[in-house]
Amino acid sequence: MTVESTAAARKPRRASKRTSAAKKPQSAEPQLVQLLTPEGERVEHPDYSIDLSADELRGLYRDMVLTRRFDAEATALQRQGELGLWASLLGQEAAQIGSGRALRDDDYVFPTYREHGVAWCRGVDPTNLLGMFRGVNHGGWDPNSNNFHLYTIVIGSQTLHATGYAMGVAKDGADSAVIAYFGDGASSQGDVAESFTFSAVYNAPVVFFCQNNQWAISEPTERQTRVPLYQRAQGFGFPGVRVDGNDVLACLAVTRSALERARRGEGPTLVEAFTYRMGAHTTSDDPTKYRADEERAAWEAKDPILRLRAYLEKEKFADDAFFTALDAESETLGKRVREAVRAMPDPDPMALFEHGYADGNSLVDEERAQFAAYQASFVDSAEEGK
Ligand SMILES: Cc1ncc(C[n+]2csc(CCOP(=O)(O)OP(=O)(O)O)c2C)c(N)n1
Ligand SMILES: [Mg+2]
């Protein structure tokens, strides 16, 4: 190696045209489907309309407020050492409640690890979401009771599960639909591309709901794609649409339309919900290390809950008594979750080996025996000390 090349190698790497993430050209920024502006003004969209009663609108608001309260409680519980980890959905309430409320009971959901709002819509008790994060169970709910699959941490893999399930639904001749949630980062996974291919060619009744929350831990969306994510669908032969992910009405309308399309046997749709992760990736992450405060502030102005509240107040769809009662309900929920988590019994350590294989497995049997011996070694030393 020459002196020059060594010196060059030591220089800090400057972003070059080749390595830097290209700034997206303005023309590549498409219009979002929006039915409620950040200021809480109702607007119409030529392809998506929605007509909800005041009661239904208050219902969506209540769902978002209680989900945010639950999420805040879980974050606090992690900080108090009651949970090992928590992945907050702060900022993504509209994307999750809008899409979650578009579903029918017989539809099936394949979530990631952040879909607490969708779980809420499915009727999964929020306390059940916390067992895995406390480390006392492997999941915490029966997926088939609410047609809500267990949380999936292997990024993107649930899109394949959803596609396979949807192909099965079609073979059964049912008119249910399937929805797979995933993130902007997951869109780079091979599994997601494979699920797009399979669902397209088999015309599977599945909706791919991508919450583009702008970040995959510390990687911005510019590192995942050169085109708006929803445009990926075109190359696979099915429609894609970008919706304002902080607008619960638009998320509901767009998801409903995609689900209806799936039910009619017209195949998959990609919905890109353009939103923002207001909090950290998980409680183990510190976003101040990689993103600017101004960015978060800009998104705070588009808060999904505040904009629906502004609309409810302006149209007099909700009064003070409603908001006060909801505050009280939120506190009751927080308290219930806190107490339930603290009361969760520690599992038998040997339960770790259960549920991996229906019919057992020799490797797991070996590991179980090793772990049993290890556990027993503690008992022995305690006995010896007596
Ligand atoms: C296959 C795989 N690779 C890497 C990881 C580590 N990991 C956990 S979350 C995450 C980022 C996911 O980002 P995104 O899909 O945008 O979802 P978000 O967390 O923003 O909701 C990564 C890389 C993982 N869990 N699984
Ligand atoms: Mg993301």
pLDDT tens string, the chain, 386 residues long: the values are 333 333 333 333 343 444 444 444 434 446 899 999 999 999 999 999 999 999 999 999 999 999 999 999 999 999 999 999 999 999 999 999 999 999 999 999 999 999 999 999 999 999 999 999 999 998 889 999 999 999 999 999 999 999 999 999 999 999 999 999 999 999 999 999 999 999 999 999 999 999 999 999 999 999 999 999 999 999 999 999 999 999 999 999 999 999 999 999 999 999 999 999 999 999 999 999 999 999 999 999 999 999 999 999 999 999 999 999 999 999 999 999 999 999 999 999 998 898 889 899 999 999 999 999 999 998 665 555 55
Q: Which residues contact 356 (CB under 8 A, 6 or more apart)?
A: 364
Classify residue 56 by burial, with Cβ atoms within 10 Å: 0-12, 13-18, 19+: middle
Same domain, 255 and 375: no
Same domain, 249 and 378: no
Q: How far apart are CA 282 and CA 85, in angstroms?
A: 7
Nearest protein Cα to ligand 1, atom 19: 216
Interstrand relation of 269-274 and 206-212 (parallel, antiparallel or unpaired): parallel
- What is the Cα 327 distance to its own chain's centre? 25
Same domain, 239 and 364: no
Q: Is the CB of 85 under 6 A from ligand 1?
A: no
User: How far, in Å, are 89, 154, 197, 321, 369 from residue 64 at the CA level?
Assistant: 11, 27, 34, 18, 46
Residue 191 CA, closest ligand 1 atom number: 1
Q: Is the CB of 279 under 6 A from ligand 1?
A: no
| Whether 62 contacts 326, CB under 8 Å | yes
Number of neighbours of residue 26 by Cβ within 10 angstroms: 6
Classify residue 367 by burial, with Cβ atoms within 10 Å: 0-12, 13-18, 19+: middle
> What pLDDT, on the 0 to 100 scale, is given for residue 355?
82
Tell me whether residue 6 is in a domain.
Answer: no
Q: How far apart are CA 74 and CA 85, in angstroms?
A: 9
Tell me whether residue 313 is in a domain.
Answer: yes
| Whether 39 contacts 310, CB under 8 Å | yes
CATH number at residue 151: 3.40.50.970
> What pLDDT, on the 0 to 100 scale, is given for residue 26?
39
Tell me whether residue 68 is in a domain.
Answer: yes
Classify residue 53 by burial, with Cβ atoms within 10 Å: 0-12, 13-18, 19+: exposed
| Whether 246 contacts 219, CB under 8 Å | no
Measured from the alpha carbon of residue 112, the closest ligand is 1
> What pLDDT, on the 0 to 100 scale, is given for residue 386?
55
Tell me whether residue 8 is in a domain.
Answer: no
Tell me whether residue 19 is in a domain.
Answer: no
Tokens, residue 353 = 């080996």
Same domain, 152 and 251: yes
Same domain, 109 and 128: yes
Q: Is the CB of 114 under 6 A from ligand 1?
A: yes
Nearest protein Cα to ligand 1, atom 21: 183
Q: How far apart are CA 240 and CA 250, in angstroms?
A: 15
Same domain, 249 and 298: yes
The dihedral through the CA atoms of 82, 87, 92, 93 has a sign that is: negative
Predicted TM-score (pTM) of this structure: 0.91
Tell me whether residue 2 is in a domain.
Answer: no
Please say if 202 is a catalytic residue. Answer: no
Catalytic pick from 122, 232, 261, 277?
A: 277
Same domain, 283 and 366: no
Q: Is the CB of 184 under 6 A from ligand 1?
A: yes
> What pLDDT, on the 0 to 100 scale, is given for residue 382?
55
Tell me whether residue 257 is in a domain.
Answer: yes
Q: How far apart are CA 4 and CA 8, in angstroms?
A: 6
Structural domain of 353: 349-384
